[in-house]
Every structure is written in C-alpha cells, then in structure tokens.
Amino acid sequence: MGADIVEKTNRYERLLLEALDAAEIAPAADTPMGEAAADCQEMARSYLEDGRHFRDDDDLVNALASFSYGHAWLDAGARIGLFDVPRDGHLFTV
C-alpha cells in the first residue's frame, strides 16, 4: 500500500476523533431523539474502535472505511438535529 492510504487513514481517524469531541447531543437524554443521538454517538465510537483494530491488522482499506462510516453517523445525526455541532469549519456538512 502506498503512503497515501496511510496518510488518509490517519487523517480520517483524527477527523472522527475531532467530530466525536465536537458533537454534543442536542435533545434531552430521556426522549426518543436523545436515545437516537446516543445510539449514533455509540455507532461512531464503535467504528472508531473497529478502524483501529483493522489498522492494527494492517487492513488499511477497512480501517479507512470504518473511520469514514463513523464520521458519517455523526454527520447524518447533525443534519437531522441530533447533535449541536460547529457550523463553520471542516467537520460537518450542516
């Protein structure tokens, strides 16, 4: 594998970490929307861990995909109002 996939995989992991840190659950925790937000956040964290596992196994393609999918859960949640996120910058498409 070329250095480009190594760099991209590391960059996407950092972006997912930044997004997890920036996304704050918007609805009250004891509501269906709050529960949905917590589920999306957990999916993003699970994909982060999956990506790290794949990278440890030198499977960079699946690591990159996992980091991307994790970020997508947060981005989709932000689009439908599950998360309060920064509206400027590079982390979210809101």
Mean pLDDT, the chain, rounded, equals: 96
Q: How far apart are CA 37 and CA 11, in angstroms?
A: 25
Does the pLDDT value for residue 5 go beyond 60? yes
Dump pLDDT digits (tens) for 47-74.
999 999 999 999 999 999 999 999 999 9
pLDDT, mean of residues 63-91: 96
Element (H, E) at 83: strand 83-84
Q: How much of the chain, in percent, has pLDDT values that exceed 90?
A: 95
* Predicted pLDDT of residue 86: 95
Does the pLDDT value for residue 85 go beyond 60? yes
